[in-house]
Amino acid sequence: MYPAQFEYHSPASVQEAISLLGRLKDDAKLLAGGHSLIPMMKLRLAQPKHVIDIRKIPGLSGIKEDGGAIAIGALTTHYAVESSSLLKQKCALLTETAGTIGDPQVRNMGTVGGSLAHADPAADYPAAAIALGAEVVAEGPKGKRTIKVDDFFKGLLTTALQPDEILVEIRIPSWPVGTGMAYMKFPHPASRFAVVGVAAVVTADGKKVGVGITGAGTKAVRAKGVEAALSGKTLDAAAIKAAAEARSPQQGFLANEFSWR
């Protein structure tokens, strides 16, 4: 399977990439790790006339603390997230989530920005990003803007990014010491994509709870009902069981959490 013919561009800066997007409009696609775009091009599900390879743009990868948040550059690979000592210490949910993605080849090539921008309904990061209350930084002709992750995923493979915007960074707010966080998924046996995946973040006092779900609809969603059932409760086994049972499919979970269906 070969992709349709395309013209290849390799901009040296974000501004150059943005001006290419502005000029080439719908005929162009950005290329990051290529682990979603290239398969789609080979299957001819995507046939961009121009491919804008952003991998040589400096400053778009890396993980650092910045103004009370953790900033992750768009081109940071899943492997870099999985192996980051900063994230292991301060946001283990992301290292855990990244470690479940695909196989070593996918994790070495695929990027955080590419995964979020692609908005695959079975991707893993969206659940974690929602649970953590992340923000996405987009850069376009008018400069940068920050989008709350709850406003970012719009539907199947659709985000709040404008056609001439590039996702440049994801920002994770800091959570108090002692916050518990975990990601569990039922992986597809072939691709390892999430048939369903759930990310949960709970502060030690139980006052702040974040729960994100992926794989169960056309986009990842915040499980608001589960969050409400857990917030402020003493998180013993009974409270957790009650929250889970109260939101089971038989008792209206789908109606409550997935009212967009």
Ligand X SMILES: Cc1cc2nc3c(=O)[nH]c(=O)nc-3n(C[C@H](O)[C@H](O)[C@H](O)COP(=O)(O)OP(=O)(O)OC[C@H]3O[C@@H](n4cnc5c(N)ncnc54)[C@H](O)[C@@H]3O)c2cc1C
Given the rule CB under 6 A, which residues bind ligand X? 29-37, 39, 74, 101-102, 106, 110-111, 113-115, 117-118, 120, 123-124, 161, 166-167, 191-193
Shortest approach of ligand X to residue 247 CB, angstroms?
Answer: 24
Nearest by Cα to 96 from 132, 133, 71, 125: 125
Q: How far is the CB of 253 from ligand X (least distance, A)?
A: 23
CA distance 64 to 54: 20
Strand order in the sheet with 50-53: 7-9, 50-53, 28-31
Instruction: Determine whether 178 is exposed, middle or buried from the number of CB atoms within 10 Å of its CB (0-12, 13-18, 19+).
Output: exposed
Distance CA 203, CA 181 (A): 9
Nearer residue to ligand X within complex by CB, 36 or 179: 36
CB of 237 to ligand X, least distance (A): 30
Closer Cβ to ligand X, 32 or 209, answer by number: 32
Comparison of 11 and 113: residue with beta carbon closer to ligand X: 113
Minimal distance in Å, beta carbon 252 to ligand X? 28
| Residue 33 or 210 having the CB closest to ligand X | 33
In contact, 175 and 91? CB cutoff 8 Å:
yes
What is the gyration radius of the CA atoms in the chain, in angstroms? 19
